[in-house]
Amino acid sequence: MSAEALLNSRKEERLDIRLRKDAKQLIADAAALTHQSVSEFVVSVAIERSREVIERSNAFVLSQKEASRFLDALANPPSPNDKLRDAAERYRRALEEGTLETA
C-alpha cells in the first residue's frame, strides 16, 4: 500500500509520543513546507523510513569479488557429498511421513 493510501485510509490506531519543544517546532515547520498537517507529515515520514529500514534488512550487499564467487557457485554448484545426500534423504522421509519440523 502506498504512503498516500495509508494516509487516506481509515485510522484505527493512535501513536502518542513525547518530544522536546524545538523538535516539535522543526517538524511543524517541515510539515508546513510540504502543505501537510503535523500528523500527516509525521506518519508519511515514519512510513517512508520504516520501508527503507525493512528493505535494507531484507537485502545484502556483496563486493564485486563476493558477487562473482556467488554467481559462480550458482552456475557451477559443487557435487553433493555424503552428508548432503543423507540430509536430503532424511528430509524426503520426513515429508512423506508428515514429521517435518520447521523452526
Per-residue pLDDT tens listing for the chain (103 residues): 676 676 677 889 999 999 999 999 999 999 999 999 999 999 999 999 999 999 999 998 999 999 999 999 999 999 999 999 999 999 999 999 989 887 6
102 part of a folded domain: no
Q: What is the pLDDT of residue 102?
A: 78
Q: What is the pLDDT of residue 48?
A: 97
- 3-state SS string for the chain: CCHHHHHHCCCCCCCCCCCCHHHHHHHHHHHHHCCCCHHHHHHHHHHHHHHHHHHHHCCCCCCHHHHHHHHHHHHCCCCCCHHHHHHHHHHHHHHHHCCCCCC
32 shares a domain with 11? yes
pTM: 0.56
49 shares a domain with 16? yes
Decide if 82 contacts 90 (C-beta within 8 A): no
103 part of a folded domain: no
Domain extent at residue 24: 3-57
Q: What is the pLDDT of residue 7?
A: 63
82 shares a domain with 47? no
Decide if 38 contacts 31 (C-beta within 8 A): yes
CA–CA distance, 43 with 41 (Å, rounded to integer): 6
53 shares a domain with 10? yes
> What is the number of domains present in the chain?
2
72 shares a domain with 37? no
75 shares a domain with 32? no
Q: What is the pLDDT of residue 101?
A: 83
